[in-house]
């Protein structure tokens, strides 16, 4: 425990505790629905309860956990229907954001997206998963922010917090043979989105975003057992909306 404490005190305790718990959730050390007890974590890490409480708040904001009044914080557990609803709304919001970003993204915003891409290029090992997941979320949020609509950004943050992409990472911890190919494909899809936005091609940006999120949908079906017919019905609704 003393070694853990010395490691944590080198940086912000809140951030270090957050990263520690974030990595454990993604690695499947905490199961969906499992309670994260503030006092227990404080004792395990040899820190006070204040940074633990702040780290738990960060986990709630990041969408990995939920706070239940009068009970505490637990790892998020979503029903298939909730996952599919978040999937549909994310298709709508991100395709809209990409379309707007392609028309008005600022040079510094575009440079930031390419910088994130470069950071994620080599993050393909199990040890990289916590950092990779956080950069992945930053990537998508940055595209929405580049759309220049504050309300869209607020709505998207709520939706992204109920989109369980972290559960895919947890699955890959148990099936590491899938990890590298999946993350390499994710990098290619992310780059295609940014390239379309950089070219000012709004329709291509929409197509690339939809392709990317639908790929996540297929992983939900294959890895998490989400019924394919539920995902496909939402996709048909989106295609009809885009065609109208």
Rounded Cα–Cα distance for residues 53 and 55 (Å): 5
Q: What is the mean pLDDT of the chain?
A: 88
Residue 244's pLDDT band (cuts 50, 70, 90): low
Residue 14's domain spans which residues?
2-75
**Res 202: pLDDT:** 96
> Which tens digits make up the pLDDT trace of 50-93?
999 999 998 998 778 999 999 999 998 888 888 898 899 999 99
Same domain, 31 and 143: no
**pLDDT for 48 beyond 60:** yes
Q: Are residues 178 and 201 located together in one domain of the fold? A: yes
Are 32 and 91 found together in one domain?
Answer: no
- Among 43, 75, 107, where does a domain finish? 75
- Residues 217 and 126 grouped into a single domain: yes
pLDDT band at 4 (very low <50, low <70, confident <90, very high): very low
Q: What is the pLDDT at residue 31?
A: 83
Q: What is the pLDDT of residues 150-193, one digit of tens each?
A: 999 989 987 887 777 777 877 887 888 888 888 899 999 999 99
Overall number of domains in the chain: 2
Do 62 and 182 belong together in one domain?
Answer: no
pLDDT for the residue 7? 43
- The domain boundary, picked from 60, 75, 90, lies at 75
Q: 112 and 59 share a domain? A: no
Judged against a pLDDT cut of 60, whether residue 30 lies above it is answered with yes
Looking at the structure, tell me whether residues 109 and 183 fall in a common domain.
yes
Are 44 and 105 part of one and the same domain?
no
Listed residues 32, 47, 75: the one ending a domain: 75
Least confident piece of the model among 23-27, 57-61, 210-214? 23-27
Residue 3 has a pLDDT of 44
120, pLDDT greater than 80: yes
**Does the structure show a pLDDT above 60 at 203?**
yes
pTM listed for this prediction: 0.77
Percent of the chain predicted with pLDDT > 90: 53
For residues 214-233, give the mean pLDDT: 91
Q: What is the CATH number of the domain that holds 62?
A: 1.10.10.10
Q: What is the per-residue pLDDT across 142-152, written as a single tens digit (0 to 9) for each?
A: 999 999 999 99
């Amino acid at each position: 425990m003393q070694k853990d404490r010395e490691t944590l005190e080198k940086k912000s305790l809140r951030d270090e505790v957050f990263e520690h718990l974030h990595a454990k959730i993604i690695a499947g050390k905490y199961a969906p629905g499992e309670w994260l007890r503030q006092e227990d974590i404080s004792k395990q890490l040899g820190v006070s309860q204040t940074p633990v409480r702040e780290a738990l708040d960060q986990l709630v904001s990041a969408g990995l956990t939920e706070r239940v009044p009068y009970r505490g914080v637990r790892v998020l557990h979503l029903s298939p229907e909730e996952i599919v609803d978040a999937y549909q709304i994310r298709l709508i919001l991100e395709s809209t954001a990409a379309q707007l970003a392609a028309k008005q993204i600022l040079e510094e915003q575009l440079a930031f997206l390419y910088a994130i891409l470069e950071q994620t290029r080599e993050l393909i090992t199990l040890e990289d998963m916590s950092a990779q997941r956080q950069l992945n979320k930053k990537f998508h949020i940055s595209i929405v922010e580049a759309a220049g609509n504050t309300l869209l950004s607020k709505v998207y943050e709520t939706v992204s917090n109920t989109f369980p992409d972290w559960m895919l990472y947890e699955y890959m911890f148990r099936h590491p043979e899938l990890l590298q190919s999946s993350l390499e494909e994710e990098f290619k899809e992310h780059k295609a989105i940014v390239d379309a936005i950089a070219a000012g091609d709004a329709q291509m940006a929409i197509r690339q975003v939809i392709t990317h999120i639908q790929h996540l949908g297929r992983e939900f079906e294959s890895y998490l057992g989400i019924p394919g017919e539920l995902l496909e019905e939402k996709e048909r609704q989106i295609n009809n909306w885009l065609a109208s």
